[in-house]
Amino acid sequence: MTIEDKKEAAEKPLNFIEKIVEEDLRAGKNGGRVLTRFPPEPNGYLHIGHAKSICLNFGLANRYGGQTNLRFDDTNPVTEDTEYVESIKADVRWLGFEWANEFYASDYFDTLYNLAIDLIKKGLAYVDDSTAAQIAEQKGTPTEPGTGNEYRNRSIEENLALFEGMRNGQFAEGTKVLRAKIDLAAPNMLLRDPLLYRIKFAHHHRTGNKWCVYPMYDFAHGQSDSIEKITHSICTLEFVPHRDLYDWCIEKLGIFPSKQYEFARLNMTHTVMSKRKLLQLVNEGFVSGWDDPRMPTISGLRRRGFTPESIREFCDRIGIARHENLISFSLLEFCVREHLNKKARRVMAVLDPIKVIITNYPENQTELLSTENNPEDPEAGVRQVPFSRELYIEREDFMENPPPPKKWFRLGPGLMARLKSAYIIQCHDFVKDQNGHITELHCTYVANSKSGQDESGIVVKGTLHWVSVQHAHAAEVRLYDRLFKAEDMSQAEGNFQDHINPESLQRTTAFVEPCLAEAQIGQNYQFVRKGYFCLDTDSTPQKLVFNRTVTLKDSWAKVK
RNA sequence: UGGCUGAUGGUGUAAUGGUAACACAGAAGUUUUUGGUACUUUUAUUCGAGGUUCGAGCCCUCGUCGGCCAACCA
């Protein structure tokens, strides 16, 4: 442990899983070894909830000198695909983590098959010919014990032969399953002779057509942990009832005793977190894809402009506990602002332009004005911005009938404001079209008020961003809002699709300062006074496209 | 209804049985050529009823409320 680690350990209280690991370490369990795993099923893209799990698992290993395996839980070939495998690997790496080993539950299909035979030989598993409906019915209810059937008493030899027949493709899908023989009256429904293997004549993304029987989660996950000698197998709360089965398999099979611990999954306001629902959003065209910037997926957040650092910070702040939680989306926004404030270059872009003519500025003159790239980071240096007679400023920075000067720092008839890194201007007149829409402001500039060499003695409270009309580049800007209107989607009634926010995406044409022509995809900027933006993957040299990651905190909005 | 599990400011997370704290959000202010940032101040908390104890957020009992479980999904 370095001094910094110790300091951090002293400052930050341990979560309950870290306490368990430390107790295990103290007790000398597993020879001081800590091995965790992140076990996604490759049937969808990773989301911010997975990030919580990734940070926990990899973070634990980091902290205690252990390692983390990436293991794809690919036991259901009909929903799984290599596209998902690739995206998951890319997302984990992007978040900043490197796994010790890349494994697949399908790597263990032979071993698992033999373990099943072992269970049969011990009289602890049997082949059941019942239909799914019959099995469900025979399971009873939480208040009534299940009833058995004649298959439960098959001989070991018969079970062995039948299971081999299943494996060899002698039986049709759905006609036979392998079940554990545990207790049909168990209060825990999962112990009422759970299914271990089912027949599926499906092509598997890794094993191809080698198998037509596939293990269920409960017969694959714990054993995979055990095979890898995972010390701490961390999962979410809905698996608590599975722990009895997890331990049962390990005990009856006499294999390495990995231990399962559960924590509460992440829920966030104004979004959904189930892969099933996210897939629906994609398939039903509500979003442009898994990486739509409105999606809570890692790829969506990345495209939106969130940074790995901000997501890790978020996961750190939300903590780990065992009760249900609903985290405000604005906490994630806080984290990304915090990071981007230090990192992002400031540039000027006008999202909703209104033209300003500086009537006392020479017509064919252009000045290059120096402006800092990031006031939070002097090393970021300065750049030159062209200034000329015709400019764009933000429409909302002018009011025909503004509130009193104590409240309003921007332009209005007769009012003065500073143009960022340029001059103080005063508005004298404005032009309206037939519809009463303001099209143009006529202003004068104060020649000796230039930034850095201001001798005017004039004090103004407001500073406005601007771009020079003749030098500006047009760009598409995509403004995002919450994907769902309901704060808590778990309590929203009816179809979840009915709650989609119709205004979650708004496109507008903005004018941006010339240096943005060289922006790289994914690069984060702060558009001064407007928020953090990054260049979208749809962007081309001919057409710039920016995503708004998040707005700046806006205390003026509250005054209004 | 059976089992499992949980309950601490608005939100989230802390607190060997010994002064309930931290962050975000909220409010007020200072600084500021971003109504940003930074800084200062501030509001607000142990689900209920009993019990054990000198002392309970923590232990016990009984409630109340929430989550999960009756997929050939994970």
A275 and A336 in contact (C-beta within 8 Å)? no
C-alpha–C-alpha distance, residues A61 and A472, integer Å: 50
- Rounded, the Å distance between the CA of A314 and C1' of B56 is 34
Residue A557 has pLDDT above 90, yes or no: no
Do residue A67 and residue A172 come from a single domain? yes
Could you tell me how far CA A178 lies from the centroid of its own chain?
Answer: 38
- Rounded, the Å distance between the CA of A227 and C1' of B72 is 25
Closest nt to A39 (CA→C1')?
B74
Report the amino acid identity of residue A432.
Answer: K
The answer to whether A322 CB sits below 7 Å from nucleic acid chain B is yes
Do residue A405 and residue A427 come from a single domain? yes
- Rounded, the Å distance between the CA of A237 and C1' of B63 is 25
Do residue A74 and residue A61 come from a single domain? yes
C-alpha–C-alpha distance, residues A107 and A352, integer Å: 56
- Rounded, the Å distance between the CA of A300 and C1' of B60 is 50
Q: Comparing C-alpha atoms, which of A205, A115, A207, A99 is closest to residue A163?
A: A115
Do residue A374 and residue A443 come from a single domain? yes
Active site residues per annotation of A: 41, 265, 275
Show which of A263, A288, A317 is a domain's final residue: A263
Do residue A63 and residue A167 come from a single domain? yes
Neighbours of A448 (CB within 10 A): 13
Q: What is the 3-state secondary structure (H, E, C) of A77-129?
A: CCCCCHHHHHHHHHHHHHHCCCCCEEEEHHHHHHHHHHHHHHHHHCCCEEEEC
pLDDT in the model for residue A11: 65
Do residue A252 and residue A381 come from a single domain? no
Neighbours of A402 (CB within 10 A): 16
The answer to whether A141 CB sits below 7 Å from nucleic acid chain B is yes
- Looking at the 3D structure of chain A, how many domains does it have? 3
The answer to whether A522 CB sits below 7 Å from nucleic acid chain B is no
Between A12 and A89, the higher pLDDT residue: A89
How far is residue A469 from each of residues A360, A414, A465, measured CA to CA in Å?
17, 23, 13
Average pLDDT over residues A237-242: 97
| Residue matched to tokens 């001059």 | A423
A545 and A538 in contact (C-beta within 8 Å)? yes
Do residue A62 and residue A178 come from a single domain? yes
Do residue A210 and residue A336 come from a single domain? no
Q: Comparing C-alpha atoms, which of A311, A302, A381 is closest to residue A345?
A: A381
**Bases along strand B below 7 A from a protein CB:** 1-8, 10-15, 23-27, 33-38, 66-74
- Rounded, the Å distance between the CA of A27 and C1' of B59 is 25
Q: Comparing C-alpha atoms, which of A324, A235, A137, A60 is closest to residue A245?
A: A235
- Rounded, the Å distance between the CA of A321 and C1' of B66 is 15
Report the amino acid identity of residue A433.
Answer: D
A519 is in which domain, residue-wise?
A: 271-342+472-560
ipTM over 0.90: yes
Closest nt to A527 (CA→C1')?
B34
Helix, strand, coil in percent for chain A, rounding step 5? 35, 25, 40
The answer to whether A552 CB sits below 7 Å from nucleic acid chain B is yes
**Residue at minimum CA to C1' distance from nucleotide B22:** A12
Q: Which of helix, strand or coil describes residue A204?
A: strand
Cβ contacts of residue A254 below 8 Å, gap of 6+?
Answer: none
The answer to whether A560 CB sits below 7 Å from nucleic acid chain B is no
- What pTM was computed for the model? 0.96
Do residue A464 and residue A498 come from a single domain? no
Do residue A331 and residue A367 come from a single domain? no
The 10s digit of each residue's pLDDT in A30-53 is 999 999 999 999 999 999 999 999
- Neighbour-count burial for A265-277, b at 16+ CB within 10 Å, e otherwise: bbbbbbbbbebee
Show which of A221, A240, A263 is a domain's final residue: A263
Let me know if A551 is exposed, middle or buried by CB neighbors in 10 A (0-12, 13-18, 19+): middle
Q: Of chain A residues 99-138, which have a beta carbon within 7 Å of strand B?
A: 130-132, 135-136
How far is residue A16 from each of residues A2, A350, A437, measured CA to CA in Å?
23, 49, 60
- Rounded, the Å distance between the CA of A19 and C1' of B55 is 27
Query: Rg of the Cα trace of chain A?
Result: 31
Token representation of residue A201: 């004549």
The 10s digit of each residue's pLDDT in A441-456 is 999 999 999 999 999 9
Q: Read off the CATH number of the domain in which A239 is found.
A: 3.40.50.620
Average pLDDT over residues A82-93: 98
The 10s digit of each residue's pLDDT in A363-393 is 999 999 999 999 999 999 999 999 999 999 9
pLDDT in the model for residue A3: 39
Residue A8 has pLDDT above 70, yes or no: no
C-alpha–C-alpha distance, residues A266 and A272, integer Å: 10
Show which of A451, A468, A485 is a domain's final residue: A468
Task: Tell me the pLDDT band of A12, cut-offs 50, 70 and 90.
Answer: confident
Q: Of chain A residues 476-515, which have a beta carbon within 7 Å of strand B?
A: none
Q: Of chain A residues 202-221, which have a beta carbon within 7 Å of strand B?
A: 214, 216-217, 220-221
Do residue A456 and residue A476 come from a single domain? no
Average pLDDT over residues A64-93: 98
Q: Of chain A residues 170-189, which have a beta carbon within 7 Å of strand B?
A: 173-177, 187-189
Q: Comparing C-alpha atoms, which of A164, A80, A76 is closest to residue A117?
A: A164
Task: Tell me the pLDDT band of A10, cut-offs 50, 70 and 90.
Answer: very low
Residue A337 has pLDDT above 90, yes or no: yes
Do residue A387 and residue A535 come from a single domain? no
- Rounded, the Å distance between the CA of A515 and C1' of B51 is 73
C-alpha–C-alpha distance, residues A423 and A466, integer Å: 11
The answer to whether A302 CB sits below 7 Å from nucleic acid chain B is no
The 10s digit of each residue's pLDDT in A402-433 is 999 999 999 999 999 999 999 999 999 999 99
Residue A245 has pLDDT above 50, yes or no: yes
Classify residue A497 by its DSSP letter: G
Q: Read off the CATH number of the domain in which A477 is found.
A: 2.40.240.10
- Rounded, the Å distance between the CA of A272 and C1' of B72 is 27
Q: Of chain A residues 416-475, which have a beta carbon within 7 Å of strand B?
A: 418, 420-421, 449-452, 454, 462-465
How far is residue A392 from each of residues A57, A346, A431, A444, measured CA to CA in Å?
50, 18, 14, 14
C-alpha–C-alpha distance, residues A560 and A556, integer Å: 6
The answer to whether A380 CB sits below 7 Å from nucleic acid chain B is no
Classify residue A260 by its DSSP letter: E
